A and B are shown apart, each in its own frame.
Chain A
C-alpha cells in the first residue's frame, strides 16, 4: 500500500505536466493562408476595404496577409476586419501589422480595436462598438512589423455573452496601406454559418437525435428524422401502362393507371429507415387481371427488414417471403397488388374500370406500402443504406400481365426482374436489345408505359394518347424538349372529351 502511494506521489508531477500540456486554450484565429477571404467570410469573418495579398516583400507571415485599401480616412469604419461572434476568453488579443511604405509621408496611421456586443434588434445583431485600444504607427521605419498585443477588457472576459472584435485601420496624410496577419483572439467561436452568421443558439431537440425539432419531421422519434419525396411532397406522379406487350399497343395508355408518391424516411445519420409508398389506383382499361409492383434496382433483398401493406391474395401467382418481399429475386421487389380487379371492382358495364365515360365511376383506392430497412435502430442483415445510395432511377415500376408472373412490362429502358421471361424480349412488336441497353421499346422506340411526374388525366378507352393530347407527338419527336407540359390543361393542348 505504501509502495503504491509512493508511486502515485512520484507520478504526480508527470500527471500535472500532462494535464497542463493537454489543456488547450480556446482561441479564434486568422492567418489568411487560405488565400481566399471568401472562405473566411463563409465562416463569418467580416472584411471592410481589405483583401488578402501575397506580395512577397510585404507579407508578414506565411504566404498571405490582410491588406487594407489606402489609409486616407481616420474613421474606424474605413478599413477593418471583424471576428465572428465569439465568447471572449481572457488574455491578450495579438496580431502583427506594418505599413507598405508606399505613401508620401506618414503623419497619422492608426489601429483601433473595439468589441461589438450582440443586440438582437440591430442590423446583423451588431450593437454599438466599444473601442478599447488604439495604436499609432510610428512615422519612421513604417514597413517594420509591429507586434500588437491588447488585453481583453475585464468587463467581457469569460462572459457568457457573445461579442465580435473589430480591428480597424485608419489614417491621413499619405497613401500607405496596412498589412496585418497572425490574429489571435482568445475565446470560443460562437457564430452559426448556417443561420446567417448569427450567434449559435442551443437547439431544441426533444428526441436528442441531433436534428433540431424545427427541422425534424419526427421530433419525438430518435429513429426517424427526415422525409424525402419522389416526385415531391405536394404532388403525385402517374404511371400509365399498356398491357399487350410484346404485341402492338393501342396507346390509350390506360390498361393500368396508378398515381404514386414515395417518401423515403431517413434518420439523423442519413440512413434509410423506410420507404412509404402511396399508390392510388385509378383505372384499368383492360380485361387482363394485371398486377403492379416495383423493383429497387441494385438494392439487395437482405437490406430489407420487411415489406407491409401490399394487397396480395391468398392464391397469388406471386411467391412472397415471410417478410413481405417477393421471393427469388436478385434485387428487392415490392408487389403493390397482385390483381387490379381485387383492388377495384368492375362496375358491371363498360370495358375495364374507369375508362369508359358511360360506365359508372369506381372510387379510387389508395394503397400504402412500407418497405422497412431499419427497425428501432437495427438494420437488416445486409447492412444499412444511405439516402445517397438510393438513386431516384432505382425505382423500377412494372406490371405483371394477366396473372402470368413471367410477363412483365416495364417503363422504357428499365430492366426486367429476374423472374421475367426474357425469351419474350425482342418478340412481337418489342425491339428490346439488352446488348444496347434497349428494353420495352418498339423498333421506332415507342414504349408500353410512361411516367408523368406531375400526374395526368389518361385517355378514354381506345383513344390513342396523341388524339387526346395534341402536343404529345411534338414532345416525343423533340425528345422532350418541346411542349414539356403537354399534359397540362391549357387552351389548344387537349381534347376534353377524349380524356377520362
Chain B
C-alpha cells in the first residue's frame, strides 16, 4: 500500500527529471568572448544599413522639377538631387541601423517614411481620404 502511495510521487519525479534533461540540452551555451563567437556568414559588421528608397512618380502633363532630398529623422542631410515629379526612381542611402524612418522632401513638401526591413517607399500620387 505504501508503495502504491509512492507511485504518483515517483512518476512525477521521473517526469521532472526528463523535463530537466531536455531543457539543459536545448539551451545553447552563449559565447563568452569573441574567440568563441561564430557569426553568421552574411553579417556585415557595420552599424549602418543600405536602404533602398523607392519613389513613384506622378503622371503630369508638364514636367515639375524641384529638389528632392533625403535626410535622417534629426534632419541630417544624406542625399539631394534635381527631380522631375513624373519620374520613378530608386535611391540607395546608408543610414544607421537604429534608424526607423527617413525624411523625404520635394520642394516645400516633407514626409516621413517608415523603414521596413531595408526599404522605404513613397508615391507622389496622394492617398485620398475618402
B16 to chain A minimum Cβ distance, whole angstroms, is 31
Q: Decide if A193 touches B58 in the complex (CB within 8 Å).
A: yes
Q: Decide if B50 touches A393 in the complex (CB within 8 Å).
A: yes
**CA–CA, A477 to B78, complex, Å?**
29
**CA–CA, A189 to B109, complex, Å?**
20
Q: Decide if B107 touches A231 in the complex (CB within 8 Å).
A: no
Task: For B92, give its contact among A189, A237, A392 (CB under 8 Å).
Answer: A392
Q: Decide if A480 touches B82 in the complex (CB within 8 Å).
A: no
Interface presence of B17 (CB below 8 A) = no
**CA–CA, A266 to B80, complex, Å?**
9
- Residues of chain B within 8 A (CB-CB) of A34 are 59
**CA–CA, A326 to B69, complex, Å?**
33
With known contacts A43-B58, A211-B67, A453-B47, A193–B34 Cβ distance under 8 A: no
Within 8 A of A (CB), among B70-104: 71-72, 74-82, 85, 89, 91-98
With known contacts A195-B108, A453-B96, A464–B34 Cβ distance under 8 A: yes
Query: Which size bracket describes the interface of A in this complex?
Result: 35 or more
The chain B residue with its CB closest to the CB of A481 is B97
Within 8 A of B (CB), among A144-194: 189, 192-194
A283 to chain B minimum Cβ distance, whole angstroms, is 18
Task: For B77, give its contact among A229, A251, A391, A452 (CB under 8 Å).
Answer: A229
B49 to chain A minimum Cβ distance, whole angstroms, is 8
Task: For B34, give its contact among A232, A446, A451, A453 (CB under 8 Å).
Answer: A446
Count B-side interface residues using an 8 Å CB cutoff.
57
Q: Tell me what chain A mostly uses at the interface: helix, strand, loop, or mixed.
A: mixed
**CA–CA, A42 to B89, complex, Å?**
17
Q: Decide if B76 touches A466 in the complex (CB within 8 Å).
A: no
Task: For A225, give its contact among B59, B66, B82, B107 (CB under 8 Å).
Answer: B82
Task: For B93, give its contact among A215, A392, A477 (CB under 8 Å).
Answer: A392
| Number of A-B residue pairs having CB atoms within 8 Å of each other in the complex | 185
Q: Decide if A228 touches B37 in the complex (CB within 8 Å).
A: no
The chain B residue with its CB closest to the CB of A37 is B128
A250 to chain B minimum Cβ distance, whole angstroms, is 10
Interface presence of A454 (CB below 8 A) = yes
Of A43, A391, A454, chain B has the most CB atoms within 10 Å of the CB of A43
Interface presence of A387 (CB below 8 A) = yes
- Residues of chain A within 8 A (CB-CB) of B89 are 388
- Residues of chain A within 8 A (CB-CB) of B60 are 42-43, 193
Interface presence of A445 (CB below 8 A) = yes
Q: Decide if B64 touches A192 in the complex (CB within 8 Å).
A: yes
**CA–CA, A393 to B38, complex, Å?**
25
Interface presence of A41 (CB below 8 A) = yes
**CA–CA, A269 to B46, complex, Å?**
32
Of B30, B34, B85, chain A has the most CB atoms within 10 Å of the CB of B34
**CA–CA, A194 to B65, complex, Å?**
8
**CA–CA, A485 to B47, complex, Å?**
8
**CA–CA, A387 to B80, complex, Å?**
9
A405 to chain B minimum Cβ distance, whole angstroms, is 25
Interface presence of A233 (CB below 8 A) = yes
**CA–CA, A370 to B107, complex, Å?**
29
Of A194, A266, A451, chain B has the most CB atoms within 10 Å of the CB of A194
- Residues of chain B within 8 A (CB-CB) of A392 are 50, 92-94
Of the A-B pairs whose beta carbons lie under 8 Å apart in the complex, a sample of 29, sorted by A's number, is: A38-B125, A42-B60, A42-B85, A43-B60, A193-B58, A194-B109, A195-B107, A215-B67, A215-B80, A226-B80, A226-B81, A228-B77, A228-B80, A229-B77, A229-B78, A235-B76, A270-B82, A392-B92, A392-B93, A411-B45, A441-B41, A445-B39, A449-B45, A452-B46, A473-B30, A476-B34, A477-B31, A480-B44, A487-B47
Binding site for A on B (CB under 8 A): 30-31, 33-34, 37-48, 50, 58-62, 64-67, 69, 71-72, 74-82, 85, 89, 91-98, 106-109, 124-128
